[in-house]
Amino acid sequence: MSATNYLFDTRELKFVVKEWLDTEKLLACGEYRDYYSVDDFDAFIDVAYKIARDVLAPANGDADTIGAQFKDGKVYLPESMKKAYYTVRDAGMGPSAFNYGEEGHVPRLFSACQNEMLTAAAPCMILYWITGGAAADVIDSYGDDELKAKVLPNMYAGKWGGTMNLTEPGAGSDLGATATKAYPTDTAGLYKIKGTKCFITSGDTDLWDNIIHLVLARIEGAREGTAGISLFAVPKNRFDDQGGITQWNDVTTVGIEHKMGLHGSSTCTLSYGENNDCYGWLIGRALGEDGKAQGLAQMFMMMNESRLSTGLMALSCAEEAYYNAREYAKIRIQGKKITDPKGPRVPIIEHEDVKWMLLHQKACTEAMRALLLKTYWYTDMALASDDAEAKQHYHDMYMINNPLCKAYISEMAWGLCGEAIQCYGGYGFIEEYPVAQLARDVKIYSIWEGTTFIQSMDLVGRKFSMGGGKPFQRWMSELGQFIETHRKDKNFAEEIQMLAEAFDTFSDMLQLLAAKMSAGRISYQPLWANRIMFAMSMVYCGMLILDQGMLARKKLDELGGDSFDANFYNGKIASARFYVLNEVPKIFSIARNLESSDSSVIELKPEYLG
């Protein structure tokens, strides 16, 4: 096996989209019904698989070993990476997939499945079309007609890139500390930009003729904190009305980060206006009389999309690690079965501990995929539904699930990649095998787009109470209704009982947190936020994967045990049982921990740590 060994099971994606999710309801919406049917999904997936296998996977070796190179103030990528990017772009799976207003555009659900496969082949590559496409989407939503006409054709075509510039040296995730300044010029909407941004994904590359940076900056007279931040479109190079490059815009690449993983992704520090000659267009309206700006709200559109994408990328690494560990376990001969000590040596996939690790990876990645693709379905329905009330409901469900998709999946993926390494034993620690790189690549996802704690605080501090708490009540009622509907299911009685107990326990956690907050003990909110996020994710994923297991049981009963898909459906049932009976019970440990109301962290003085 080589370090670029690409394995993927398209059957799992087809099950989720064609059998489990209500994709027919989505494609019946006005903007899809004349263009796509459920069966068209096969063509999207099959093309993406071939490109991932034949183009991206071979480039992944160069992406990791050569990576992005910083020379003479510019970033260069290996030729194999550039070829892979252009192949994806020309196949219509690059930035153009973000052009959701285009007639006959592809549902986000379909694009997500394609991107899952492409990311599994070369984790760093997706960043170049994700950042460019998401930046274009923000400009499309909030920019004026003149700006859109000048930049969007090249951005959606993948000829120009785009980035999100939030972080500054020393400020980290504290966007209220943004020091980058914007000064008005004699031209309305055009500002002179001066400042420094760091950790900018795809900040510079020779893939593109130009890059449109979306930069958070503060206009003189703006409020302090996040309320006073505005958003600007700042090109690397200036251009004429036809999109021709005219001159450099005083955007300097100071350097690139030397990262633990994702070596092919250029993560840059950018300096704006070192020569006092950097200009950018204000997106949206100017400051209000109260000094309030719109920048953060606009940027959150890109951040929310990117958070979903981050969960998708984390899932892709974890599942690719699982597929490789599974195949290795099939061919690695070692030891005898404990039930047959005098028998022959067997592949390690026959040993109980290895089977446990593999089923754990399988069940968790399938549960994570269910969460993620269900949420992508919500985003599509929120945009496409013809019913205004339904649109709001779908949007609310997307907003509640988004922190789970980003935080839970990215945290789980790190451990799952480690477990894949464990399946290999010592070979997993060697770079010639693919799981080592996957482990290095996957770690960043729990940090990107807001750390796990930021996601958890967004969940408990905002999503629980948004809309007066009614959307979250509906989210909870969906779980309760599922349990009640299946109380008497004879095939999954133990699993339903476990899920019911976990749901009740999670509800008790929420009441306990509410009691702490009502008593003014607000420090418990940040102290418990991560654990509540994990508990919520597990009980919700338990419902989703159990629903899939029930569907698989029904399909198996219809087709019979000798059918071509029998192993697949039996595997789905095994995943559902395992996740609900092994992962979901972790909620009880979390609950016991919270019930103790341990305040040692709250009372801890920093000097006690040494």
Catalytic residues: 449
Cβ(504)–Cβ(542) below 8 Å: no
Which spans in 78-213 are helix H? 79-90, 108-121, 126-142, 145-156
Tokens of 202: 């795809």
Distance CA 129, CA 160 (A): 10
Q: Nearest 5°: phi and psi at 68?
A: -75, 130
* C-alpha to C-alpha distances, 14 to 26, 193, 316, 534, 540, nearest whole angstrom: 16, 47, 16, 28, 22
Side chain identity, residue 517: M
Residue 394, sorted as left (phi over 0), alpha (psi -120 to 50) or beta, turns out to be alpha
Tokens of 28: 């019946």
Which long-range CB contacts under 8 A does 510-518 form with residues at least 24 apart? 510/464, 512/594, 512/595, 513/460, 513/594, 516/597
Tell me which H or E stretch contains 183: strand 181-184
CB atoms closer than 10 angstroms to residue 434 = 27
Cβ(155)–Cβ(132) below 8 Å: yes
Residue 104, sorted as left (phi over 0), alpha (psi -120 to 50) or beta, turns out to be left
* C-alpha to C-alpha distances, 35 to 137, 382, 384, nearest whole angstrom: 22, 19, 14
Distance CA 278, CA 269 (A): 16
Distance CA 511, CA 519 (A): 12
Cβ(280)–Cβ(237) below 8 Å: no
* C-alpha to C-alpha distances, 127 to 118, 132, 191, 438, 465, nearest whole angstrom: 11, 8, 28, 15, 33
* C-alpha to C-alpha distances, 585 to 91, 500, 502, 537, nearest whole angstrom: 44, 11, 7, 12
Tokens of 442: 């996957």
Distance CA 475, CA 387 (A): 19
Non-local (6+) Cβ contacts of 593 within 8 A are 531
User: Residue with structure tokens 């690790």?
Assistant: 357
